[in-house]
């Protein structure tokens, strides 16, 4: 290819493009179909989240945290309330911990379903996308039952939850899990092991583990590269140490370790692990207890700073909160996992074709709300 | 060579499995259909039996509604709102004049002259409904359907119609009760 | 009903004063309108069926607009009619930077390629507009004519996505013509004729007394040739998994990104017309054309038309089934499939079919 060098063309993918997962713009330098460099241009969804937080109380931040990673709001809430609780030194009731884990893991399934579905869409498979959305809807129904909202929940509060789980929630969740587990096999049949899909994703966009660490990539993308690093296991927070689950890593079954297929496969396997965790949590959860028992009347943390991190579906979500003793945070910094995932895109997509760049982008599972904040 | 034929074989088998999945769904459409034909059919509304047995539960997030007769103008909701979409103004009533009580038998002392909720700004976080001491601001429907029916599609032709003005006080009343024509503005 | 019959019919009627040239022109116009009607009706029905099939496969129910009026009839039956009417009255946007003449011309060239191929399709025993002795060759030749329209559309739009789509489709269609043609040659060897009716007639009777004597069942080489041809045919019609020229997640809409309204509808029309042609050729060459699946049962002119259309619709449905199941291939993989898999197999097939025919003699 190198010999027949032609004139290079700059292609603008986005901000309005079917597969940029939001309002991302990619400046792609192409030599025919081959991509020589990719430059992501971000900021189209910038909403001044961090600055805005300095002007609202700790409780009021939660709806905005929801809107950062709008695909996995529960996990974002979880990370934020953990940070504030650490700052305040609050112990939350047992039941709250369990409900939080259940909700977070359910949202992890929902988020992975969306990630896998849109990844399928990026490589041209339309039907699996709708199957996954169908099942995601069921999770959202459960959330709606619990807190009235389907996307932006504002469910986890500092020190508690906005609502207790409704009567019948546990049974409905068991029912969902029983329904959901065979569905994973169906996704595998229609998409995961489809030869065309494997051809499109295996050995494409290989992210070596050292590059991943250098760029600070976390979550399923890092695990896809073969490193077993999951904050739920390695830096246990909340009550994750009580559950028995595995951390799937990419093994290069269809290609080499760290390719797009591995990143996809890690998410599929993670959904099974989520189901495991939810089952255990539902079994172990105390049935009664006040979810608002530890909610402080006024949130006024002492002076100081805190950094707290948690594992969202996209990776390590960190909150650095600097408090000056007032009811509003003095400074709030969010470390978003999707940002690092996007930053590695230009590194790993050079030399691939245009179609591959979009497949790699899909496999990195970014959410622009979190990148731009 | 072996790999070449194995690839062809793998392609054929995996593609056949995929075709089988979609064909199965094609045959089972009557059972598997998930479409809701929206204007004709509606999503089943959550019923009381599934756990909203506590009146304080407020788990439908459809539209904010205020029972203005119960409002005492304490500004709690307006303070809780992260996007400042609730605008309240009130005037102090002259001493000795009675402007009634709320349904919780709290004596009202302030005349709420403006209670606007801009639903185009509302972020449906539900934070305003918790601090209300009189339970007079709530999301319609669900467990609150007794107070106000659910309002799924509050769509309008004009954006300004989404600013809900709840206050029912007229200027004459203000002048009579406070003895002044200028409104003394409080709140945000 | 051939074109010569039409000319005679016109000449014998009260329009006889037109003379032979006039009758010829009139006959061509009548035939053209009939084909256009078939293409349009097929596109409208096929779009509706495709939407329904896709919906059912995805646990949805597809277009369901109910009630009277244009909004769409019960079960959404009039949905595509309404869509077509909407496209007719839509604003026709020509981008300022486009090459106006070519931009306007491109959809018609593309449509023409599919349109004129209909002339040689034998719909039934007597219903073939022009019964050439090189019918199959003619169809193969003119249906690759449409690629010029694609390239023009991509180039004239002056849009990078369109250009990519056009270049991809040119490469794709040219490379898939070859395995398609070679797999057809396997049958031509056995029949010894390029005439569509002759090929159809060669498939009467039964094999082993049970299966109809179609070329799919006749011998293993023609059996394989059918699949090679069908896969190549899917690629020629630019449908998933070979829809890289219009890959919506990569190239927005590929070569027709800039088109709107009626011109865009012509792209759609020609896509469905192409599907019909590819399936029609497959039916004639491999599935016995207008012959009944049970020899001797339900034959005749009308039944012939019924069997032909039924088989075509069956193959079109399979194309839809494939489309809504698979992901899309990449450009280089697409070429690999053509040059490294289909072409060797087609050559092997041709060789085998040659030996088979010698052995039969």
Judged by phi (left if over 0) then psi (alpha if -120 to 50, else beta), residue C178 lies in alpha
- pLDDT score, position A1: 46
- In a mutagenesis test of the A interface, which of B18, B44, B62, B140 is the best target, namely the one with the most A β-carbons within 10 Å? B18
How far is it, in rounded angstroms, from Cα C10 to Cα C162? 45
Between the CA of residue C67 and those of A176, A372, C70, C76, what are the distances in Å? 36, 46, 9, 9
- The neighbour count for residue A31, using CB atoms within 10 Å, is 16
Least confident of B182-186, C28-32, C213-217: B182-186
Q: Is residue A343 within 8 Å of residue A215, measured between CB atoms?
A: yes
Q: pLDDT tens across C302-347, in order? A: 888 888 888 888 998 998 888 888 888 888 888 888 888 888 888 8
CB within 8 Å of C348: residues ≥ 6 apart: none
DSSP string over A125-193: --HHHHHHHHHHHHHHHHHHHHHS-SS----EETTEESSPPPTTHHHHHHHHHHHHHHHHHHHIIIIIT
What torsion, rounded to 10 degrees, do the Cα atoms C77, C78, C81, C82 define? -140
- Residue C1's pLDDT is what? 55
DSSP character string of A29-91:
EEETTEEEEEEEE--TT---HHHHHTTS-HHHHHHHHHTTSTTSHHHHHHHHHHHHHHHHTPP
User: Of A107-111, A286-290, B138-142, which one has max mean pLDDT?
Assistant: A107-111
Mean pLDDT (chain C) is: 82
* Span C124-153, average pLDDT: 82
Residue A261 structure tokens: 């297929």
A258 vs C: CB within 8 A: no
Measured CA to CA, the distance from residue C237 to residue B118 in angstroms comes to 52
Partner-chain residue, chosen from C164, C240, C331, that has the shortest CB–CB distance to A124: C240
Q: What confidence score (pLDDT) does residue C254 get?
A: 79
Are residues C331 and A196, on separate chains, in Cβ contact within 8 Å? no
Q: List all residues of chain C from 47 to 66 with a beta carbon under 8 Å from chain A.
A: 54, 57-60
Mutation target to probe the A interface, by most A beta carbons within 10 A, among C165, C231, C325, C330 is C330
Question: What is the pTM assigned to this prediction?
Answer: 0.86
Q: Please provide the DSSP assignment of C9-32 as one string.
A: HHHHSGGGGGHHHHHHHHHHHHHH
Average pLDDT (B119-134) is 83
In sequence order, the 6+-apart residues with CB closer than 8 A to the CB of A145 are A166, A169, A172, B46, B50, B51, B59
Question: Each residue of C249-291: pLDDT tens digit?
Answer: 778 777 888 888 888 888 888 888 888 888 988 988 888 878 7
Composition of chain A by helix, strand, coil, percent to 5: 50, 15, 40
- C240–A130 C-beta distance less than 8 A: no
CB A258 within 8 A of CB A207: yes
Question: Please, which residues bridge with residue A25 across strands?
Answer: A41
Q: Which residues contact B81 (CB under 8 A, 6 or more apart)?
A: A60, B127, B128
Phi first, then psi: give them for residue A303, nearest 5 degrees: -60, 140
pLDDT > 70? residue A315: yes
Out of B8, B21, B25, name the one closest to residue C56 (CB).
Answer: B25
**What's the helix, strand, coil split of chain C in %, to 5?**
70, 0, 30
Would the CB atoms of C321 and B32 count as touching at under 8 Å?
no
Instruction: Provide the mean pLDDT of chain B.
Output: 75
Interacting residues of C165 by C-beta distance below 8 A, sequence separation 6+: C150, C154, C245, C246, C247, C251, C253, C254, C255, C256, C257
Q: How far is A296 from chain B (nearest CA, A)?
A: 13
ipTM for the complex? 0.82
Confidence of residue C121 (pLDDT cuts 50, 70, 90): confident
Q: Where are the domains of chain C?
A: 1-89, 93-360
Chain C residues in contact with A192 by the CB 8 A cut-off are none
Q: What share of chain C has pLDDT > 90, as a percent?
A: 0
Residue B103 region by backbone torsions, left for phi larger than 0, else alpha for psi between -120 and 50, else beta: alpha
β-pair partners for A31: A34
Residues 6 or more apart whose CB falls under 8 angstroms from that of A353 comprise: A33, A34, A35, C330, C331, C332
Our CA-based measurement puts residue A371 at a distance from the nearest CA of chain C, in whole angstroms, of 22
B7 in reach of chain A (CB within 8 A): yes
Flag whether pLDDT at C123 surpasses 70: yes
Residue B169 has pLDDT above 70, yes or no: yes
Q: What are phi and psi of A39, to 5 degrees?
A: -125, 110
Q: What is the pLDDT of residue B181?
A: 47
Per residue in A73-94, pLDDT (tens digit) is: 889 989 899 888 888 888 888 8
Residue A341's Cα: distance from chain center in Å? 11
Q: Determine whether the interchain pair C249/A18 forms a contact, defined as Cβ–Cβ distance below 8 Å.
A: yes
Determine the average pLDDT of the residues in C67-76.
55
Q: Alpha carbon of B187 to those of A265, A274, C218: distances in Å?
A: 55, 47, 89
Q: B185, B89 in Cβ contact below 8 A?
A: yes
Using CA coordinates, name the residue in chain A closest to C253.
A18
First to last CA, chain A: 40
């Amino acid at each position: 290819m190198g010999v027949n060098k032609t004139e290079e063309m700059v292609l603008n993918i986005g901000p309005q493009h079917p597969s940029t997962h939001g309002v991302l713009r990619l400046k792609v330098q192409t030599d025919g179909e081959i991509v020589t460099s990719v430059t992501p241009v971000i900021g189209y969804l910038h909403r001044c989240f961090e600055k805005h937080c300095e002007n609202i109380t700790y409780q009021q931040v939660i709806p905005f945290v929801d809107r950062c990673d709008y695909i996995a709001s529960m996990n974002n809430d979880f990370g934020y309330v953990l940070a504030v609780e650490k700052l305040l030194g609050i112990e939350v009731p047992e039941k709250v911990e369990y409900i939080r884990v259940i909700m977070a893991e359910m949202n992890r399934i929902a988020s992975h379903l969306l990630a896998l579905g849109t990844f399928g869409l990026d490589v041209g498979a339309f039907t699996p996308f709708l199957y996954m959305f169908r099942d995601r809807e069921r999770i959202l129904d459960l959330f709606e039952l619990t807190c009235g909202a389907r996307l932006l929940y504002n469910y986890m509060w500092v020190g508690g939850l906005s609502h207790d789980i409704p009567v019948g929630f546990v049974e409905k969740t068991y029912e969902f899990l029983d329904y959901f587990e065979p569905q994973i096999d169906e996704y595998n049949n229609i998409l995961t092991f489809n030869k065309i899909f494997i051809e499109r994703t295996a050995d494409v966009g290989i992210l070596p583990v050292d590059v991943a660490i250098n760029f600070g990539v976390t979550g399923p993308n890092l695990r896809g590269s073969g490193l077993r690093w999951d904050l739920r296991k390695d830096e246990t927070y909340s009550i994750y140490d009580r559950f028995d689950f595995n951390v799937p890593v990419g093994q290069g079954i269809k290609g080499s370790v760290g390719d797009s297929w591995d990143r996809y496969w890690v998410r599929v396997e993670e959904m099974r692990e989520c189901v495991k965790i939810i089952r255990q949590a539902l079994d172990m959860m105390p049935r009664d207890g006040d979810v608002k028992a530890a909610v402080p009347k006024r949130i006024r943390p002492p002076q100081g700073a805190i950094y707290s991190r948690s594992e969202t579906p996209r990776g390590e979500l960190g909150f650095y909160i600097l408090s000056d003793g007032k009811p509003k945070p003095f400074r709030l910094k969010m470390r978003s996992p999707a940002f690092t995932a996007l930053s590695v895109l230009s590194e790993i997509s050079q030399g691939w074709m245009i179609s591959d760049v979009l497949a790699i982008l899909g496999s990195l599972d970014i959410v622009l709300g979190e990148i731009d904040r | 060579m072996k790999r070449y034929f194995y690839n062809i074989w793998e392609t054929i088998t995996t593609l056949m499995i995929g075709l089988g999945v979609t064909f199965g769904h094609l045959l089972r459409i009557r059972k598997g259909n998930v479409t809701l034909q929206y204007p004709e059919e509606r999503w089943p509304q959550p019923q009381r039996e599934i756990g909203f047995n506590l009146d304080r539960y407020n788990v439908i997030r459809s539209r904010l509604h205020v029972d203005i007769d119960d409002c005492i103008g304490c500004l709690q909701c307006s303070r809780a709102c992260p996007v400042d979409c609730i605008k309240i103004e009130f005037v102090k009533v002259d001493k000795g004049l009675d402007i009634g009580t709320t349904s919780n038998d709290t004596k009202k002392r302030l005349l709420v002259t403006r209670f606007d909720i801009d639903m185009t700004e509302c972020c449906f976080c539900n934070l305003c409904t918790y601090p209300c001491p009189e339970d007079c601001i709530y999301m319609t429907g669900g467990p609150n359907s007794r107070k106000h029916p659910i309002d799924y599609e509050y769509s309008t032709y004009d954006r300004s119609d989404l600013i809900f003005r709840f206050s029912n006080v007229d200027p004459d009343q203000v002048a009579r009760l406070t003895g002044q024509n200028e409104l003394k503005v409080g709140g945000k | 009903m051939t074109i010569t019959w039409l000319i005679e019919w016109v000449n014998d009627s009260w329009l006889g004063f037109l003379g032979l040239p006039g009758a010829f022109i009139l006959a061509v116009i009548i035939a053209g309108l009939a084909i256009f009607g078939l293409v349009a009706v097929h596109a409208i029905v096929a779009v509706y069926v495709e939407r329904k099939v896709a919906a059912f496969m995805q646990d949805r129910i597809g277009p369901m607009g109910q009630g009277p009026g244009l909004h769409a009839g019960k079960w959404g039956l009039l949905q595509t009619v309404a869509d077509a009417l909407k496209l007719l009255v839509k604003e026709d946007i020509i981008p300022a930077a486009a090459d106006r003449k070519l931009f306007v011309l491109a959809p018609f060239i593309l449509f023409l390629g599919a349109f004129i191929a209909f002339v040689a399709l034998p719909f039934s025993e007597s219903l073939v507009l022009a019964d050439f002795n090189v019918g199959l060759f003619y169809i193969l030749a003119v249906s690759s004519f449409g690629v010029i329209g694609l390239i023009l559309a991509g180039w004239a739009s002056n849009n990078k996505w369109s250009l990519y789509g056009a270049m991809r489709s040119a490469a794709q269609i040219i490379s898939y013509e070859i395995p398609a043609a070679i797999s057809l040659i396997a049958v031509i060897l056995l029949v010894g004729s390029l005439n569509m009716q002759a090929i159809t007639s060669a498939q009467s009777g039964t094999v082993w007394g049970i299966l109809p004597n179609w070329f799919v069942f006749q011998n293993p080489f023609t059996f394989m040739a059918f699949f090679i041809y069908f896969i190549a045919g899917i690629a020629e019609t630019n449908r998933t998994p070979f829809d890289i020229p219009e890959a919506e997640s990569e190239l927005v809409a590929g070569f027709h990104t800039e088109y709107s309204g009626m011109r865009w509808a012509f792209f759609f029309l020609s896509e469905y017309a192409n599907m019909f042609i590819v399936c029609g050729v497959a039916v004639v060459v491999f599935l016995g054309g207008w012959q009944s699946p049970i020899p001797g049962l339900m034959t005749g002119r009308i039944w012939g038309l019924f069997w032909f259309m039924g088989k075509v619709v069956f193959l079109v449905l399979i194309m839809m089934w494939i489309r809504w199941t698979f992901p899309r291939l990449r450009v280089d993989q697409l070429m690999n499939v053509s040059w490294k898999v289909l072409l060797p197999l087609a050559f092997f097939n041709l060789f085998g079919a040659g030996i088979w025919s010698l052995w039969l003699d």
